[in-house]
């Protein structure tokens, strides 16, 4: 039974992957690092930017200088803040309707490798600004996806809320993701995953329990049935010989 739905943010709720990439590329370039679109979407397949930048620094220097990593990430934040001041990221079609319908049935949370400032800015003045009871961002956890830390932290916060219901278990959480790293993070936390093919093609998301194109027209109450229907059938056991 699903009792909580946990959303990734970029590529799931917010249609902002392209400007994020462009700002990230510029921040890296200013520190002598390069990252092509192909490498970002293939080699690093959904890592959060901090993990990706750390990998690039380690590949170049043999170590990851934490001060340099912090400078890159701070510069990325500034670039993206300047961009969104003129071009506010849009929410994907169907997101508002899905979230509003789910609010009365499930506890809702966001778990993302993005920064809280960016999340707040995107949700500000939208119809779902106050629908998420918990938001966990890159500011709250030291290790990014595909490590499960962010999903463990999100579940802990959901269970700490008042009034406290019977504790929500990991198996009662459905995560909505758009990348392989995100899928693996949620699965490692013991949660089921719905993957949306908004950033990567469906064939790269098959480790999820269910893959759909997007949230448009999707009824939250139909998810349990769709997840059950998508479960691989158990192999039939041979009849005992008499």
Residue 81: closest CA among 73, 93, 70 = 73
- Residue ranges of domains in the chain, CATH in brackets: 4-15+89-230 (3.40.50.1000), 17-86 (1.10.150)
User: Tens of pLDDT along 50-75?
Assistant: 889 999 999 999 999 999 999 999 99
Q: Do the Cβ atoms of 25 and 35 come closer than 8 Å?
A: yes
User: Tens of pLDDT along 2-53?
Assistant: 999 999 999 999 998 888 889 999 999 999 999 998 888 777 666 778 889 9
Q: Is the dihedral of CA 34, 196, 148, 76 positive or negative?
A: positive
């Amino acid at each position: 039974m699903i009792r909580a739905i946990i959303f990734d943010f970029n590529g799931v709720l917010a249609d902002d992957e392209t400007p994020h990439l462009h700002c990230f590329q510029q921040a890296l370039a200013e520190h002598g690092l390069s990252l092509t679109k192909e490498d970002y979407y293939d080699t690093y397949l959904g890592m959060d930017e901090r993990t990706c930048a750390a990998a690039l620094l380690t590949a170049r220097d043999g170590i990851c200088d934490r001060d340099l990593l912090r400078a890159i990430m701070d510069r990325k934040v500034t670039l993206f803040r300047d961009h969104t001041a003129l071009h506010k990221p849009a929410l994907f079609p169907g997101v508002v309707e899905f979230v509003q319908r789910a609010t009365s049935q499930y506890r809702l949370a966001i778990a993302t490798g993005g920064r809280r400032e960016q999340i707040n800015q995107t949700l500000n003045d939208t119809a779902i600004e106050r629908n998420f009871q918990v938001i966990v961002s890159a500011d709250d956890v030291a290790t990014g996806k595909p490590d499960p830390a962010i999903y463990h932290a999100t579940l802990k916060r959901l269970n700490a809320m008042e009034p406290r219901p019977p504790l929500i278990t990991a198996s009662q959480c459905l995560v909505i993701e758009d990348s392989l790293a995100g899928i693996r993070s949620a699965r490692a936390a013991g949660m089921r995953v719905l993957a949306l093919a908004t950033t990567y093609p469906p064939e790269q998301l098959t480790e999820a329990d269910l893959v759909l194109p997007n949230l448009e027209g999707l009824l939250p109450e139909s998810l349990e049935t769709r997840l059950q229907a998508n479960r691989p059938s158990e192999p039939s056991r041979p009849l005992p010989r008499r």
